[in-house]
Amino acid sequence: GKTYFTYHPFDSLALLQKKTLNNYSEDIEFSSFEELYGGYISDLRIEVSGIYKNCENKLKNKGKLSYEWNDSVPCTVISLFEDSCIKKGISYTDGGTDYYVYSPHLGGLADTANSLYALKKLVFDEKKVSFSEFVDILSRNWENAEDLRHYALNSLEYYGNDNDEVDIIVSRILSDFADICNELEKTNSFRFPAGVSTFGRQIGWRDYRLALPCGQPAKSVLANNMAPTPQTAFKGPTAIINSYCKADLSRISNGAALDIRIMPNDVQGEDGISALTSLIKAFCVQGGFFMQIDVSDSSILRKAQESPEDYPALAVRVAGWNARFVTLSKEWQDMIIDNMEK
């Protein structure tokens, strides 16, 4: 009852594509994967530092009692439940709390890690294409490179398949992200914990995303939260959980939600419930702490699209919340169905 909290989402994939890889400009070049990864983490540090500085500036203007007219709407209800706001006579949004938590939230993690992994394998390890050639292909959205795109999409095992080689990239990004947040937090009086989420922003981010090195074309709706990138996870929920739990999730103290979709037939009857219980227990034993399970069949969702009046209570897990499927826009419905079928 004494804390103000907000989070600041950013697209880690856009950071890789538009900053580190300079919009796939022919002027960009890296001679090794480690040099590429180092360049990305340097850009990540600049991005997170910018978020921190913005939060620091906002905090400077909070907590001062003023008798001047304030055009912003007061946050009255929350303020009534904050002891410090009542004592100070200052609203929750104006600095009435004693403590402040600003959390940067990294989005598109699976997409970023998969892109780095594809660059590592295709350019630096297997040498199927030079760095400059690959950048040119990506700038053309895979035009005239369908064979390489097919290889990238179907021959490499990405995050969500229990592949140590790519999962360690996910772990490195999270660890370096947490290090940056911790270093910045020590310089001021507010908390700055790392978090991971998209919460549906992948729809809004779609139009700004370029072609992915792992095979997806430009303007794709991609991974939600810490779920795998669509079209990349083929070994089932256990492999997805194994990939997720390899990271030190205790360092991402503001949360890293894993979305799991399970077919209804897989959890029917006593055996199905027992399997689901075992899956959740294994998740906890391995260090997982935030999993969102959606049991649904895409064929039923398509029927609900066609005849919404027949499915008024059909619920789905959207991102950080549940929703009645028929109340969602078609764009959101299509995203949920598309992710389920991929």
Mean residue pLDDT across the chain: 92
Average pLDDT over residues 204-216: 95
3-state secondary structure 173-237: HHHHHHHHHHHHHCCCCCECCCEECCCCHHHHHHHHCCCCCCCCCCCCCCCCCCCCCCCCCCCHH
Among the ranges 211-220, 230-239, 255-264, 319-328, which has the highest mean pLDDT value?
Answer: 211-220
Q: Which pLDDT does position 231 carry in this prediction?
A: 85
pLDDT digits 0-9 by tens, 75-134:
899 999 998 998 888 889 888 999 999 999 999 999 999 999 999 999 999 999 999 999
Share of the chain above pLDDT 70, in %: 97
Q: From CA 115, how far away is CA 16, in angstroms rounded?
A: 9
pLDDT digits 0-9 by tens, 166-207:
999 999 999 999 999 999 998 888 999 999 999 889 889 999
With 70 as the cut, is the pLDDT of residue 37 above it? yes
Confidence of residue 136 (pLDDT cuts 50, 70, 90): very high
Q: From CA 76, how far away is CA 106, in angstroms rounded?
A: 30
Q: Which burial class, exposed, middle or buried, applies to 148 when counting CB atoms under 10 A from its CB (0-12, 13-18, 19+)?
A: middle
Query: pTM value?
Result: 0.91
| Beta strands per DSSP E along the chain | 3-11, 99-107, 195-196, 258-262, 291-295, 315-317, 322-324
Alpha-carbon dihedral angle through residues 233, 237, 243, 249, given to the nearest 10 degrees: 130
Q: Which pLDDT does position 319 carry in this prediction?
A: 65
Rg (CA), the chain: 22
Q: From CA 341, how far away is CA 231, in angstroms rounded?
A: 9
Q: Which burial class, exposed, middle or buried, applies to 252 when counting CB atoms under 10 A from its CB (0-12, 13-18, 19+)?
A: buried
Q: Which pLDDT does position 289 carry in this prediction?
A: 85
Q: Count helices and strands (H / E) in the chain.
A: 13, 7
Q: Which pLDDT does position 61 carry in this prediction?
A: 74
With 70 as the cut, is the pLDDT of residue 58 above it? yes
- Closest by CA to 264, choosing from 306, 293, 286, is 293
- Closest by CA to 193, choosing from 209, 174, 211, is 174
Ramachandran quadrant class, 233 (left: phi over 0; alpha: psi -120 to 50; beta: rest):
beta
Q: Which pLDDT does position 334 carry in this prediction?
A: 86
